[in-house]
């Protein structure tokens, strides 16, 4: 069987990465990942079309790869997939004839078959479950597709459709497959993780899902991302507290803002005082790591409303905070609002909020200096021999800081291993530790 050389680029969110991994798995055991696109039989670009900068990055990436292999003989099959295709596919097909295969998110289940047709002459074989691209330390577990919320700034429902839950059986099978590959941490993702099961008639929220996942052999850490505030009810939080390890007390709650008028204008499903959900979590998990994302410069965000947001962040003291300047996306209600904020003001507000959070994060991390903690090793540092990249329990992959770990020369820190290390120093966002 001829080996299929594949060069992949996965842009955007972890949910996109899961789709990329499924595509790689469908290429079977004879697939080989290559770094050089000119050495590939198939180039797979999984795109993001969520906001304008992501669209621009996706188009630029496709153009660069098309140019890189223009004179290659034979020329690789160039496949472009994902949200950009779902949003702008008709226009792009006419403008980018270099692309051989366009695959939208509405064709997710057909991706392997369509790629197989394009690669039939190269010995495409039966599908495998999934080919992980995140390394041996963690994997993403996607539990749903799409979103049924109607936030006025968001394009996701129009791109990926309404919320559709995967079944417990599908999710468990996916989790078991990844754990069998030795991955110790599963990161549960969906557009709204707390909405899982609603469309299946499940009335107990995340409880049946967690009950199924937490006892799985080999699972050392289970992390939940994208928890909508309205879904974190008292009963769900009580169950999570009772469940305990390997479920991490890590709460990624995308609040987007703190001022009630801005939240109402955003059309958020939870537009009341966001302090309520923070208090609800901390009353049960005083040790909780709290992450949120904030949009600044949304239409109608006055200076007074922004100051209220700054006061809220200073009061709550999130462990991690992502700040984004609002982007007016074509086709969204927010883009047509009259009270748009200037680009200069948006950037000034983003910088001010990030400066505030840098100080809060630095204070958080200083508290760990001198303590011993478990660190999950992700791999060697690319520039410093003898230094490894790792994560403490309160550090999610790709979005939070890192814990850099040094070990004696005779001790090898294997990627995927969890080691005990003593924290020696801290910066605004990272820790350094010794084994």
What does the pLDDT look like over 72-124, one tens digit per residue?
777 888 888 888 888 887 778 878 888 888 888 776 666 666 766 666 544 44
**pLDDT (0 to 100) of residue 112:** 65
340: DSSP letter: P
Mean per-residue pLDDT over the chain, rounded = 87
Rounded Cα–Cα distance for residues 310 and 323 (Å): 12
Helix (H), strand (E) counts: the chain: 12, 18
Span of 105-119, 274-288, 336-350, 361-375 with lowest mean pLDDT: 105-119
Rounded Cα–Cα distance for residues 218 and 198 (Å): 29
Q: Extract the tokens encoding 227.
A: 């928890």
Span of 10-14, 26-30, 225-229, 327-331 with lowest mean pLDDT: 26-30
Span of 91-95, 174-178, 319-323, 359-363 with lowest mean pLDDT: 91-95
Residues above pLDDT 70, as percent of the chain = 92
**pLDDT (0 to 100) of residue 109:** 64
49 touches 55 (CB < 8 A): yes
pTM score? 0.75
- The residue with tokens 């309520």 is 276
Taking the CA atoms of 33, 34, 40 and 42 in sequence, report the sign of the dihedral they define: positive
Rounded Cα–Cα distance for residues 192 and 295 (Å): 17
Q: Is the link from the previous residue into 74 a cis peptide, with omega within 30 of 0? A: yes
Q: Extract the tokens encoding 161.
A: 């459709």
Residue 13 in this model has a pLDDT that exceeds 90: no
In degrees and rounded to multiples of 5, residue 51 shows phi and psi of -130, 165
Rounded Cα–Cα distance for residues 414 and 169 (Å): 32
Sorted by where each starts, the structural domains of the chain and their CATH numbers stand as 4-122 (3.40.50.12160), 138-366 (3.80.30.20), 372-434 (2.40.50.140)
In degrees and rounded to multiples of 5, residue 272 shows phi and psi of -80, -170
33 touches 6 (CB < 8 A): yes
């Amino acid at each position: 069987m001829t080996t299929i050389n594949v060069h992949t680029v996965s842009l955007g969110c972890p949910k996109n990465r899961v789709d990329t991994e499924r595509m790689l798995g469908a290429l079977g055991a004879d697939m080989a990942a290559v770094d050089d696109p000119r050495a590939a039989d198939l180039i797979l670009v999984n795109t993001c079309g969520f906001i304008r900068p992501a669209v621009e990055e996706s188009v630029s990436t496709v153009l660069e790869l098309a140019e890189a292999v223009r004179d290659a003989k034979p020329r690789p099959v160039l496949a472009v997939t994902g949200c950009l295709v779902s949003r702008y596919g008709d226009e792009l097909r006419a403008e980018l004839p270099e692309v051989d295969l366009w695959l939208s998110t509405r064709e997710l289940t057909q991706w392997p078959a369509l790629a197989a047709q394009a690669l039939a002459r190269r010995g495409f074989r039966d599908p495998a479950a999934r080919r992980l691209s995140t390394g041996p330390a963690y994997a993403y577990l996607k539990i749903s597709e799409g979103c049924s919320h109607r936030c006025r700034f968001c394009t996701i429902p129009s791109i990926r459709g309404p919320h559709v839950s995967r079944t417990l059986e599908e999710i468990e099978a996916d989790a078991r497959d990844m754990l069998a590959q030795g991955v110790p941490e599963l990161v549960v993702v969906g557009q709204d993780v707390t909405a899982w099961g609603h469309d299946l008639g499940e009335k107990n929220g995340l409880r049946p899902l967690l009950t199924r996942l937490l006892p799985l052999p080999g699972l050392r850490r289970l992390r939940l991302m994208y928890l909508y505030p309205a879904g974190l009810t008292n009963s769900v939080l009580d169950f999570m507290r009772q469940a305990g390890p390997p479920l991490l007390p890590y709460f990624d709650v995308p609040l987007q803002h703190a001022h009630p008028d801005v939240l109402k204008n955003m059309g958020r499903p939870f537009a009341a005082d966001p302090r309520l959900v923070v208090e609800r979590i901390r009353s049960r998990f005083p040790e909780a790591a709290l992450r949120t994302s904030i949009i600044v410069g949304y239409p109608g965000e006055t200076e007074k409303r922004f100051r209220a947001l700054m006061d809220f962040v200073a009061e709550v003291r999130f462990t991690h905070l992502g700040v984004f300047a609002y982007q007016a996306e074509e086709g969204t209600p927010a883009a047509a609002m009259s009270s748009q904020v200037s680009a200069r003001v948006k950037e000034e507000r983003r910088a001010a909020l990030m400066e505030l959070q840098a100080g809060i994060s630095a204070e958080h991390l200083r508290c760990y200096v001198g303590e011993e903690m478990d660190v999950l090793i992700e791999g060697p540092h690319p520039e410093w021999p003898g230094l490894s990249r790792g994560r403490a329990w309160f550090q999610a992959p790709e979005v939070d800081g890192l814990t850099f770990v040094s070990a004696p020369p005779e001790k090898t820190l294997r990627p995927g291993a969890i080691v005990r290390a003593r924290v020696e120093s801290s910066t605004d966002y990272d820790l350094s530790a010794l084994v």
